Amino acid sequence: MASRDTAFVEITPEVLLKAYACGIFPMAESADDPALYWIEPEMRGILPLEGFHVARRLARTVRTTPFTVHVDRDFDAVIDGCAEPKPDRGKTWINARIRRIYRALFEAGACHTVEVYDGEALVGGLYGVSLGRAFFGESMFHRATDASKVALVHLVARLKAGGYRLLDTQFVTAHLKTFGAVEVPKRRYHRMLEEALAGEADFAVLPTERPITGAEALAIIESAH
């Protein structure tokens, strides 16, 4: 289900967080379209934190990769990466209003990034919204093989360590299915969301001033099973 918002109604961070609490999120038709659409899927994608699966090959990559992973370091660079055209997508849904709204959330501490670097070059990452014990994944990107997968592994480690209960992926892709993502009906999703919002989690429970290694991230995930 989707409803169209006009280009003239300003959406504040407070309004956006209330929308997330109701199970609704915004998207744009394209980068050039100033309008936003409020989306509430009948089937919602989630990635169960306790059922998160890391394939053996990927676990080896996470442990041995030369990538360095930081959080909340460069929001603008991450959203730029997420807005880049892809082979299967010539245009992006991230318009100027999306950038402005989520940057305001980032500055307020309610939006976070996970950033993957090869040396000084940003090669992958993701961003999403934190509310209560729920994390709403918005978008991810990669410029190097497995970089977005490494970002997701580090995100899940941080969410598990921080006491989160719900990782909302909005939709399920073939990529996310390999990690255990599933679809749940809207009514069940709302029950899960209500439970996740009844409490507080801590995205910064792991150090943010230094990068967490892949081995540390995997140890957190494995110990939480």
**Structural domain boundaries enclosing 42:** 13-224
CA distances in angstroms from 156 to 9, 12, 24, 224, listed in the order given: 35, 28, 22, 11
Residues in the chain: 225
- Predicted pLDDT at 223: 85
Number of domains forming the structure of the chain: 1
Q: 28: pLDDT confidence band, cut at 50, 70 and 90?
A: confident
- Predicted pLDDT at 221: 94
Does some domain include residue 124? yes
Q: Is the pLDDT of residue 107 over 50?
A: yes
Give 54-91 pLDDT, tens digit per residue: 999 999 999 999 999 999 999 999 999 999 877 655 55
Query: In this prediction, what percent of the chain has a pLDDT beyond 90?
Result: 78
CATH of the domain at 42: 3.40.630.70
Does some domain include residue 3? no
pTM: 0.92
Does some domain include residue 114? yes
- Predicted pLDDT at 10: 72
Does some domain include residue 109? yes
CA distances in angstroms from 105 to 23, 34, 86, 113, listed in the order given: 17, 19, 26, 11
Q: What is the rounded CA–CA span in Å between residue 106 and residue 101?
A: 9
Q: 96: pLDDT confidence band, cut at 50, 70 and 90?
A: confident
> DSSP string of 147-184?
HHHHHHHHHHHHHHHTT--EEEEES--HHHHTTT-EEE
Q: Is the pLDDT of residue 168 over 90?
A: yes
- Predicted pLDDT at 53: 94
Does some domain include residue 57? yes
Does some domain include residue 4? no
Does some domain include residue 40? yes
Q: 3 versus 201: which is more confidently predicted?
A: 201
Give 150-162 pLDDT, tens digit per residue: 999 999 999 999 9
Does some domain include residue 5? no
